[in-house]
Amino acid sequence: GVKSILKLMAPLLLGLGFLQLTSLFDYLAGWTLTATEHSPTFTLLGHVVERPLRSGVLVRLNAANTLYQFPMGVLALSLGVAVFPLLSRYAARGDWPNLRDALNRALRLSIMEGLATGVGLLTLGEPIIALIFQHGDFRAADTAATVHILRFYAMTLWAFCS
């Protein structure tokens, strides 16, 4: 019934939830650590701490995160959705050798997708960001700062895809 379906979906939902939690943590950390004219410091465990980030960092963080999550949504998530029924079928039958083989193939493919898209974002990040975001108040300096953030995201893409 519904209970068994939810039980089978738990690992997939946990993985999807983890990605959203890391994005939320990035946003909250950026928001907390960004100095404003009215709030250049914050209190942490009784100590006054200067906020190390400057205005505009949340826009840059959001732009980099958007480009980071796009390949995961297109490639890794679609692979996970496609392979999940096969893995569930093998697990329900207790066919552990085929489950292990299918999981290994899926993980190898997702790591390769993550490595390829990570390298793509590392090499093409700047022109992509300039094309999509560099207009209005988003200047060339913002593009350069966003590329720096995106590079860190891109280096972890292989791990999040798997």
Residue 19: HSE in the Cβ half-sphere, 13 Å Cα cutoff = 22
Question: Can you say how many angstroms the Cα of residue 4 is from the centroid of all Cα atoms in its chain?
Answer: 29
Q: 3-state class of 49 per DSSP? A: strand
pLDDT at 53: 66
**What's the pLDDT score for residue 106?**
92
- C-alpha distances (whole Å) from 41 to each of 27, 33, 54 are 18, 9, 12
143-157: average pLDDT: 92
Res. 116 pLDDT band, cuts 50 70 90: very high
State the pTM of this model. 0.72
Bigger pLDDT: 57 or 123?
Answer: 123
> With the C-alpha atoms ordered 155, 74, 57, 60, is the resulting torsion angle positive or negative?
positive
Answer whether residue 62 shows pLDDT above 80. Answer: yes
Residue 138 pLDDT:
93
What is the pLDDT confidence band of residue 121, given thresholds at 50, 70 and 90? very high
The distance from CA 82 to its chain's CA centroid, rounded to whole angstroms, is 20
Q: Are 121 and 67 in contact (CB under 8 A)?
A: yes
> Cα 112–146–56 angle (5° rounding)?
145
Tell whether the model's pLDDT for residue 91 goes beyond 80. yes
- At 59 the pLDDT is 87
Residues 6+ apart with CB under 8 A from 73: none
